Structure 1
Amino acid sequence: MTVSSAVEPPTAADSQQLAGTDSTSNKGVQFWLVFLGLCFAGFVAATDSTIIFTALPTIANDFGGQSQYVWLGNAYVFASTAIQPLYGQVSNIFGRRYPMLMSVALFALGSGIAGGANSTAMFISGRLVQGLGAGGMIMLIDLIVCDLLPLRERSTYLGTVLGACAVGSVLGPVIGGAIVTRSTWRWAFWINLPVCALTLAVMVPFLRISSRRSPSWVHSVSRIDYLGNTVFVGSITSILIGLVQGGVVYPWKSWQTILPIVLGFSQLSASALTSGLNILPINAFMIPSGAVAGAILTKTGRYKPLHWAGFGVLAISCGLFSTMSSSTSTIAWAWFEILAGIGIGLPLTTQLPAVQAVLSESDTAISTSTYSFVRSFGFVWGATIPSIVFNSRVDAMLGSITDTKVRAALAGGGAYSYALSVKDITDQTLQQTLEVYREAMRVVWFVGLAFALVGFLLVFAEKHVEMRVTLETEFGLKQAKPAEKQITNKSKEGA
């Protein structure tokens, strides 16, 4: 994908509005309000990505759409993943403000459609619109943070936004379970509307980002690489469809249902609320670890030690997870999760600044959109690879189960959907089945260990680059107008 560089030179007024060319030490009320809006957007996008976990079975049952279960759950993933690079290009052409506002508006519109859906097709359409909005929100949150702060400071603020996202991810399944239990599943989507309204209420007046202007609207539109984007989105969608259809061949329903099993936190028979609490140690330590890593990077400017530590601790946690069995105590696996949270958190907020250290500020949009896309795309692979390994290992061990009915239920990827029924098995068959699950999970954790070790070794190939402490960008916050400054000064005097 290419972007034409022919644009109208900035006027004198525009030059005066380019923010942060000297330093970013001045963070006024406008900065903090915009940053708060970004946190709201991250929270609502993360909550929606997990809230459907517990609501989806009820939704499929209401629509009689069990045969389309995989599409009900993954339409959102398709749209949000494939659209991110296009947002990066559009934000370079039209600036950050309008793509961000459009993303929040699309997300709200999709939430309303999905919540009010009276058919499977309408629900899937709503989820697609939601995904188009969420993809832009996810990418543009990181991009705007990078626009407002110099390279050395970015990881600290990215960690704060990550904290808002993590809180949303943790609360999502719990909120979804509570809504399904006490009310209609439709509120799982309608609940997004007031948060989106609050986000827009902050961003519309305060998210004023400078940008270079094209000579005309026609010129701006002509700079979009339509062919490249069409080919790219089409190819990525095809890959995603292939990955998700694998869940039909191996009927684990949808990739979201893999996570509680692969992570080993759902105990097979845990409720939605219990599952949310079981993964709390990871999220509780991932957020502070990311914040600490961001602070260290801001202070020292060195990211390689943080990446080594992160992948090293993650490898240790995967090794410990592989030792788990039905007799593993709660304290033990909670500590394994804590280590995993630390291992994930340390590189999570420091990878994007490391990528951008070797690039100029003009490449911020491209680097951010690419990083955001790879992260989302990797999440799909991170669910698919363990499922393939798990299913293969279960099939290989079916001979150790004497009960033919149980054996048939577990075959061909049925182990995922059968997990909740394991509690109904008794005596010798129960022990045989649990051993099959334990062994299959052990191999999955070995694969995770291998990936963590590869990451650890790749850090040796990273090049250390001094991180910039000043910001030179044409996409900073516009300076307040004289009238606004007078109002601000009067407010200060009155205080």
Structure 2
Amino acid sequence: MEKDAVPVPADTHPAVAPPATEPAAAVPTGQPPSNAKGLRFWLVFVGLCLAGFLAAMDSTIIFTALPTIASDLGGSADYVWLGNAYVFASTAIQPLYGQLSNIFGRRYPMIVSVLLFVLGSGIAGGANSSAMFIAGRLVQGLGGGGTIMLIDLIVCDLLPLRERSTYLGAVLGACAVATLIGPVVGGALVSRASWRWAFWINLPLSALTLAVIVLFLRVSWKRSPSWMHALARIDYLGNTIFVGSITSILIGLVQAGVVYPWGAWQTILPLVIGFVGWAVFFVQQAHCPEPTMPLRLFAHRTSASVSLQNFVVSMLLQWCVYVLPLYFQSQLAASALDSGLWILPINAFMIPSGAVAGAILTKIGRYKPLHWIGFGVLAISCGLFSTMSPSTKTVAWAWFQILAGIGIGFPLTTQLPAIQAVLPESDTAISTSTYSFIRSFGFVWGATIPSIIFNSRVDATLGSVDDDQVRASLANGLAYSYALQVRHLTGSVLDQTLEVYRGAMQVVWLAGLGFALFGFLLVFVEKHVDMRVTLETEFGLEETPHRGDKPGEDEEAVKPNLSG
């Protein structure tokens, strides 16, 4: 998807939270927590990892299957929407899930998100037109976005602040493995069976996840007096403005340079509408009694700084995934499959680095040194990436990736606990949903910004290529798709084209270095807060199941019990 002030009861809905500067129940920094965990905890945790695995795999399994899907469904003209419908829905919906989980508890939103994911998988797998497929991917995104966000949130509910990063690292590991094998599984299914199985494979695995959640994920929550009272608490206006504005921004970003030029009104207008709508959203949130994304989340310098760091590190993660295959294909003559395999070092080291950082945070309770290490190493890796050329040795670019994986992994699992350290436990849901949204939004910009820089630099240096046909193939945003054709060139034209690509990517990596250094400087803004080692929440595992989990039942939520 950790707070440090006295929790606010769920049946009160203040516009302003208790002061975030009052730490609660902190212990000496070096004292690690120790909490026994029973069978039910581990069953729930495994179920969460499985849910994260499915949602993450679904976001990448389509990569290798998309050309075949577009061909079979006659959707070549809708190619950009076939690939991005999931991103739209999963990004825009996350803050709403955060508010719903506060009102209706964690169990029901999680069940609904998995059911939506299953429904969308069935629709996409059985689609007989591009419109039906896009609709299925939108439904999948509504479920997948909620699932990813709620996994982080439930982990936060089950564990004290000091322990969260360790378990978030384990969930990250499951998601990262799924991201790695997704394209491989998709390619195998397309070649040996049908692309439809890339979606139908989700059905039995989701059924297993759903069984674990229904049977064991029974968490405490403070019921509203009635369903009408619960429904009245939803920020309908705020969520409408937010979803609309974010969707407009995403439409502009996804179409830009692919469907329409960056300077076209079809690109500029959605971006302007989206950012104006976003500004209106934050004005509305300041006057909403129970906002979706309250401004108090960013009132403390630590939460504001780390939220911005979250955007930067998420953007740079996607930056690496976007630019490195371009380098492999254009400079090293790698195939599409090879370029996917050659990016494994960054993912292979990001997972254990995140786990190590989480364990260190649990042990020492200090997040600032981990953030400095992460952004420092990430800056070094971006600087090294900028030196790469066709003559760079394999061992060199592999080590550059290893450094990038370490640099990304360290902050990735320790940012959410840092944000929540300065907030009250009552803000766990909205802080997690906001964190999850910022992370997803960063991924979108992580592909957009380098593409803008790359294409502009290619256009600026095209005059050095003598061949008119090659220049036309590279101009106006076409250079990325032309990367696989570069090594078909010969003689001086090949050398000239390679230099155009090398020079453009060097500027891209130097820009990435600038963002990494910006993240490093942001760590200075953070203020250390001792991290809680006791769990004080209304949303932990129930000691015994409720007789009925409905609003309107006049019974107190039982106390959380981590021992199952």
Q: TM-score, normalised by structure 2?
A: 0.79
From 133, 138, 142, give the equivalent of 1:128.
138
1:458 to 522, 547, 555: 522
Find the counterpart in structure 1 of residue 259 from structure 2.
248
Separation in 2 of the partners of 1:99 and 1:403? 58
Q: Of 80, 87, 94, which residue of structure 2 is paired with 1:77?
A: 87
Matches within 5 A, 1:434-449: 434-449=498-513
Match of residue 432 from structure 1: 496
Alpha-carbon distance between aligned partners in 2 of 1:411 and 1:122, rounded to the nearest angstrom = 34
Equivalence for 2:239: 229
Aligned partner letter, 1:278: W
1:80–1:132 Cα contact (<8 Å) kept:
yes
Specify whether residues 37 and 271 from structure 1 end up closer, same or farther in structure 2 by C-alpha distance, changes over 3 A only.
Answer: farther
Alpha-carbon distance in structure 2 between the residues aligned to 1:440 and 1:141: 39
- SS of residue paired to 1:461: coil
Match for residue 368 of structure 1? Answer: 432
What does residue 474 of structure 1 align with? 538
Paired residue secondary structure (1:267): helix
Q: CA deviation at 1:277?
A: 1.8
Name the counterpart of 2:364.
Answer: 300
What is the alpha-carbon distance in structure 1 between the residues aligned to residue 152 and residue 10 of structure 2?
Answer: 26
Aligned to 1:185: 195
Q: Structure 1 residues 273, 407: CA separation in 2 closer, same or farther (over 3 Å shift)?
A: closer
CA distance in 2 between partners of 1:248 and 1:320 (Å):
33
Question: Structure 1 residue 64: deviation in Å?
Answer: 2.1
Per the alignment, residue 138 of structure 1 pairs with: 148
C-alpha distance in 1 between matches for 2:321 and 2:438:
22
Kindly provide the amino acid, as one letter, of the partner of residue 209 in structure 1: V
Is the partner of 2:524 in helix, strand or coil? Answer: helix
2:324 match: 263
Give the Cα–Cα distance (whole angstroms) in 1 for the partners of residues 494 and 118 of structure 2: 46
Unaligned runs of 5+ in 2: 1-7, 14-24, 26-32, 263-314, 547-564
Stretch deviating more after TM superposition (23-32 or 119-128): 23-32
In 1, are the aligned partners of 2:318 and 2:446 still within 8 Å (CA)? no
Alpha-carbon distance in 2 for matches of 1:37, 1:394? 47
> Equivalents in 2 of 1:97, 1:321: separation in Å?
44
Residue 34 of structure 1 corresponds to which residue in structure 2? 44
Cα deviations across residues 121-168 of structure 1 (Å, max 9, x unaligned)?
A: 000000000000011001000000000000000000000000000000
Q: How has the CA–CA distance of structure 1 residues 202 and 179 changed in structure 2, closer, same or farther, with 3 Å as cutoff?
A: same
**Match runs of 1:109-128 below 5 Å:** 109-128=119-138
Indicate how the Cα distance of structure 1 residues 455 and 259 shifts in structure 2: closer, same or farther if over 3 A, else same.
closer
The answer to whether structure 1 residue 414 and structure 2 residue 457 are counterparts is no
- Give distance in 2, aligned partners of 1:177 and 1:90: 37
Residues 421 and 531 of structure 2 are in contact (CA less than 8 Å); yes or no, is this contact kept in structure 1?
A: yes
**1:334 and 2:398 matched:** yes
Match of 1:196 among 193, 202, 206: 206
C-alpha separation in 2, matches of 1:348 and 1:364: 18
Q: Judging changes above 3 Å, is the alpha-carbon distance between structure 1 residues 357 and 322 closer, same or farther for their aligned structure 2 residues?
A: same
- Kindly indicate whether the alpha-carbon contact (under 8 Å) linking 1:106 and 1:129 is maintained by their aligned counterparts in 2: yes
Distance (whole Å) between structure 2 residues aligned to residue 403 and residue 284 of structure 1: 41
Q: 2:171 is matched with which residue?
A: 161
Task: Sort the Cα spacing of 1:6 and 1:284 in 2 relative to 1 into closer, same or farther, 3 A.
Answer: closer
With normalisation by structure 1, the TM-score equals: 0.90
The aligned amino acid for 2:144 is A
Partner of 2:298: none
Query: 1: CA distance between counterparts of 2:48 and 2:336?
Result: 28
Assess if the C-alpha contact under 8 Å between 1:173 and 1:272 holds in 2: no
Which is worse superposed, 177-186 or 379-388? Answer: 177-186
User: 2 CA distance for matches of 1:258 and 1:449?
Assistant: 11
- In the TM superposition, what is the alpha-carbon distance from 1:276 to its structure 2 partner? 3.1
- Name 1:317's counterpart in structure 2: 381
* Structure 1 or 2: more helix by fraction: 1
Provide, for residues 446-487 of structure 1, a one-character-per-residue CA deviation record: whole Å limited to 9, x for no partner.
0100000000011011010000000110000001469xxxxx
- Shift, 1:118, TM fit: 0.3
Pair 1:6–1:353, CA change in 2 (3 A) = closer
Q: How far is the alpha carbon of 1:261 from its aligned partner?
A: 5.0
C-alpha separation between the residues in 1 aligned to 2:450 and 2:341? 22
SS at match of 1:109: helix
Contact 1:319 1:446 survives alignment (8 Å): yes
Q: How far did residue 270 of structure 1 move?
A: 3.7
Look up the match of 1:148. 158
Give the whole-Å Cα distance in 1 for the aligned partners of 2:231 and 2:320.
41
1:398 aligned partner = 462
1:5, 1:68 → 2: CA distance?
A: 48
C-alpha deviation, 1:272, in angstroms: 4.8
Q: Distance in 2 between matches of 1:203 and 1:216?
A: 25
The residue aligned with 1:380 is 444
2:11 matched residue in structure 1: 7
Aligned-pair CA distance for 1:35:
0.2
Partner of 2:57: 47
Kept in 2, the 8 Å contact 1:158–1:349? The answer is yes
For residues 115 and 74 of structure 1, the distance between their equivalents in structure 2, rounded to whole angstroms, comes to 16
Report the residue type matching 1:238 in the other structure: S
The alignment-based identity, stated in percent, is: 76
Change (3 A) 1:113 1:295: same
Matched, 1:61 2:71: yes
**C-alpha contact 1:155 1:353 (8 A) present in aligned 2:** yes
Matching of residue 92 in structure 1 with residue 102 in structure 2: yes
- Mapping of residues 98-109 of structure 1, within 5 Å: 98-109=108-119
Deviation at 1:271, TM superposition (A): 4.2
1:15 aligns with none
The structural deviation recorded for 1:250 is 5.2
- Give, in whole Å, the separation in 1 of the partners of 2:506 and 2:157: 43
Q: SS in structure 1 opposite 2:405?
A: helix
Equivalent-residue separation in structure 2 for 1:407 and 1:289 (angstroms): 42
Offset, 1:257? 11
**1:169-214 alpha-carbon deviations (Å, 9 max, x no partner):** 1101111122222221111111111211111121110000110011
**2:220 corresponds to:** 210
What SS does structure 2 have at the residue aligned with 1:263?
Answer: helix
**1:398 maps to amino acid:** L
Letter in 2 for 1:443: V
Is 1:238 aligned to 2:248, yes or no? yes
Counterpart code for 1:277: L
Residues of 2 paired with 1:380 and 1:136: CA distance? 17
Q: What one-letter code is carried by the residue in structure 2 that aligns with 1:249?
A: Y
One-letter amino acid of the counterpart of residue 38, structure 1 = L
Q: Judging changes above 3 Å, is the alpha-carbon distance between structure 1 residues 455 and 239 closer, same or farther for their aligned structure 2 residues?
A: same
1:321/1:445 contact within 8 Å kept? yes
Indicate if the aligned counterparts of 2:10 and 2:426 stay in contact, CA closer than 8 A: no
Structure 2 counterpart of 1:423? 487
